[in-house]
Amino acid sequence: MAKIGFIGTGIMGKPMALNLIAAGHGLFLSTHHDAAPAELLDKGAVALDNPREVAQEAEFIIVMVPDTPQVEDVLFREDGIAAGVGSGKVVIDMSSISPTATKQFAERIKASGAQYLDAPVSGGEVGAKAATLSIMVGGDEATFARALPLFQAMGKNITLVGDSGAGQTAKVANQIIVALNIQAVAEALLFAAKNGADPARVREALMGGFAGSKILEVHGERMIKGTFDPGFRIALHQKDLNLALSGARELGLNLPNTASAQQVFSTCAALGGSGWDHSALIKGLEHMANFNIRGE
C-alpha cells in the first residue's frame, strides 16, 4: 500500500481521504492551515506541521484545495510541497484550477525530479463519499498507471485525457455543461410553475423522456423542495465558470450561455447565496421573476 500525503480535507477532501484509508493506504496530513480532522486521525492518519514534511514522508502527495492561488501556495510556499519532493515522488492536484497555471506548476515540480498529474473530479460530496467520482487526468501514461490504484479508491470513471493541463481543461468543460443544465432545469420548472402547473409533477413527467438527466433528477428535486445545503457551493461554481470565460477570451471564443449562467450565479451571490448549493441557481431566476416555485 502507498504512503500518501493529503492536503485539503474539506467537504470533498475528507471523504476522499477516508476512502484512501479504507483501501489500506497510509495518510499524512498538514496542519499548516487547519487542524487535521479527528475522524482521519482516529483512523490512523498522521498529522505533520507543513506541506514540506508531508512531501518528505509520502510517495504520492494529493492536493485538494479551492482555487489556483491556494494550490500555488501549498506547492511553492517556503515550507511547501516543492521543498520536499524529488525523484520518484508524484504530486497529484485534484483541485479545480486554471489549466494554464497547471501547465506552469507541472513544469516547476518536474524540475525537481518529481512527476505531476492534474486530476480534478466531478461528482460532488455524494460521489466523494461513495467513491464514485469521475476523475479527469492530465499527465504522462507511466505516472497515470502508478497513480491509478489511488484513483480507483476514490472514483469510478477515471480517464487519462492528455498531457499536463488536459485534466483541468476537461473539468472546466464539465462545469460548463453542469451549469447550463442546472439553468435549463431551473428555467423549465420556473416556467411550468408560473404557468400554473405543479413543478414536482412536471419534473416527474420529464424524467421519463429525452429531457431526463441526473441534474433534473437530483437538482430538480432540490429546487422543488428548497433544500440548498451545499454539496457544491455557488462560489466554487462561479470560480469554475470564471476559468471557462477567461480561457475563452484567451482562445478568442464566445460562450454566451456560460456567461448567462454566471450572471444568474452572481444574482444569487448578491442575495447572500455564495454558500448555497449550485442548484439554488433557481433562486436567482425566481428573484428576477418575483415568483417562487415553492410558494414561499
33, pLDDT greater than 90: no
What confidence score (pLDDT) does residue 34 get?
Answer: 81
d(CA 215, CA 232): 13
Q: Is 42 exposed, middle or buried (0-12, 13-18, 19+ CB in 10 A)?
A: exposed
Q: What is the DSSP string of 241-268?
A: HHHHHHHHHHHT---HHHHHHHHHHHHH
Cell 447565496: give the residue. 273
Rounded mean pLDDT, 242-252: 95
Q: What is the DSSP string of 131-191?
A: T-EEEEEES-HHHHHHHHHHHHHHEEEEEEEESTTHHHHHHHHHHHHHHHHHHHHHHHHHH
Could you read off the pLDDT of 186-217 as tens digits, one per residue? 999 999 999 999 999 999 999 999 999 999 99
Q: Characterize the bridge pairing of strands 46-48 and 115-118.
A: unpaired
Catalytic residues: 171
Closest CA to 206 of 222, 217, 219, 193: 217
Please, which pLDDT band fits residue 85 given cuts at 50, 70 and 90? very high
